[in-house]
Amino acid sequence: MSTSLFDLTGKRALVTGSSQGIGLALARGMAEAGASLVLNGRGADRLEAAAATLREAGAKVATLPFDVTDHEAARAAIDGFERDTGPIDILVNNAGMQHRTPLEDFPADAFEKLLQTNIASVFHVGQAVARHMIARGAGKIVNICSVQTALARPGIAPYTATKGAVANLTKGMATDWARHGLQCNGLAPGYFDTPLNKALVEDPKFSDWLANRTPAGRWGRVEELVGACIFLSSEASSFVNGTVVYVDGGITASL
């Protein structure tokens, strides 16, 4: 099979929440596959710092700071970019947050914030980008799900609910938009060493549990998500729609 199927040369990818962690790693990987990048986050300074590191490696990078939980801000930013700069061919909805508290004590305001950040943002940004993709008859949307899309563990029930919803929203996107030439899929990381998981990574008891629970026997490295993201962003996945690809070291396959 030709490696040209995975070539992203000439494509532009918007990655939300891309100033650090998984988002930055995915952006770097897609740049190495030939894509130009649009980094998004709320902090312009952090975005510029991330962009600078990618430019040093030869990537073509723009920044587009806006709040993904604000419907009007997302639409205005994306419409303005499409008008003034050019098309967004690939969207990676990566922005997300976590809050760990036993469900019986979970604060209502934290629950609402999770809903807005993890679910509503996928709708806001996805709709704004898809309207332009539909007009062109082509586009790739990759929504970042989680191992918690399929599994739950104590203390993160609302997060689990949001990531289950992202998977179903992804199915809905595919159902509505596949006929317009879009492929909309989910990428579900297992347990990866990221800033979001810092407390767990630094907890020896949890890391030991994870090593025993995961068939691969370790935390994932963010670079190990890149191949699946490139697949879902490229012509290699031209007939893949509404599915979730788990990159989890086998944790969802094993009791």
Rounded to whole angstroms, how far apart are CA atoms 73 and 79? 10
Tell me how many degrees the CA angle 237-240-245 measures, rounded to the nearest 5. 90
CA atoms within a 13 Å half-sphere pointing along the CA-CB vector of 201: 11
DSSP-derived secondary structure letter, 219 = P
DSSP E strand boundaries for the chain: 12-15, 36-39, 61-63, 90-93, 139-144, 182-189, 244-247
Angle between the N-to-C axes of helices 21-32 and 226-233, in degrees from 0 to 180, rounded to the nearest 10: 60
**List 66, 111, 159, 219, catalytic entry:** 159
The length of the chain, given as a count of residues: 255
Q: Contact 9/85 with Cβ under 8 angstroms?
A: no
Catalytic (active site) residue 159: yes
Rounded to whole angstroms, how far apart are CA atoms 146 and 191? 9
Rounded to whole angstroms, how far apart are CA atoms 138 and 87? 11
Positions annotated as catalytic residues are 159
